[in-house]
Amino acid sequence: MQSLVAGSPVSGTAKHGDIQREFDEVLLARRVIKRSRKRLLQVLHSTRALDSTLKEFTDLHGCLPNPPSLGSYLYALKDGSCAAIARISAVERRHYQASIVKPRNEYMHEAGRTPTDDPEVLALLAEMEACLQRVLSL
């Protein structure tokens, strides 16, 4: 993912270094021994990398939604508010909403909700990467 972001227009923004550091943190979190903490950190840093990349990407293309949020970036990318780039389809938006936004919000905002089931969390992390790759292809 780091090579994809470095090879995208986002690499020219002031936030690029911070985004790459978030990816580094995802890898570093693998060393955390307590599994639930490790997964929570991985979700946290992945979501910050994804959110920030989408924010910079939509801003670069003049369609930064207000208020900015993962769900609203996806809507902006579907609705064609970013006139200069292609759009994601409604099916894709729904897929990302269900596979990323919903579980991500639960982990980030719900007290006591700790990711302990490895396959679920790993699937979430991979879906975030897939979403990032899709958006950078627009």
Partner 1 sequence: MRVEETCQAVKHLLPNDYVVVLRPDLPNLLRGPDLMIGGAGRLFAIFRLQSAEQRTPDRLLARLALSRLALPQHTVCVLLWDSQGADRDTMTVLTSHFHATIPDDSPGVLSDQVLESSVDGRAQAVPLELQGRQYHRAAALMTLSETWLREAFPAWLTPEPISAPERTAPYDGVALQVRDLPRELFDAIDPSALEGYEPVVARSWFRGTRTIFPTLLERDDAIVTAASGPSLSARLARCGERLLLRTTALDNGVPYPQATTLNVLLVDEVPRSRFDPLKAIRATCFAGWSLIGPPQLARLDQTLQELRALPTGGHA
User: Among residues 18, 24, 62, 89, which is the contact residue for partner 1, using CB under 8 A?
Assistant: 89
Taking CB under 8 A as the binding criterion, the range among 49-57, 61-69, 73-81, 100-108 that sits at the site for partner 1 is 73-81
Contacts of residue 121, Cβ cutoff 8 Å, sequence gap at least 6: 39, 42, 43, 115
Residue 8 makes contact with partner 1 by CB under 8 A: yes
Would you say 68 or 75 has its CB closer to partner 1? 75
Where in 17-36 is the site for partner 1 (CB under 8 A)? 20
Work out how close the CB of 51 gets to partner 1 at its nearest, in angstroms, rounded to a whole number: 18
Centre a 10 Å sphere on the Cβ of residue 14 and count the other Cβ atoms it contains.
Answer: 7
Tell which residue, 4, 31, 2, has the closest CA to residue 17: 2
Residue 86 makes contact with partner 1 by CB under 8 A: yes
Work out how close the CB of 64 gets to partner 1 at its nearest, in angstroms, rounded to a whole number: 19
User: Among residues 48, 69, 105, 123, which is the contact residue for partner 1, using CB under 8 A?
Assistant: 123
> What DSSP character marks residue 63?
-
Enter the tokens of residue 88: 């994601």
Residue 84 makes contact with partner 1 by CB under 8 A: no
Contacts of residue 30, Cβ cutoff 8 Å, sequence gap at least 6: 38, 42
Residue type, 71: G
For residues 95 and 89, give the distance between their C-alpha atoms in angstroms, rounded to a whole number.
10
Residues making contact with partner 1 (CB under 8 A): 2-9, 11-12, 20, 78-80, 86-92, 94-95, 98, 117-120, 122-123, 125-127, 129-130, 133-134, 136-138
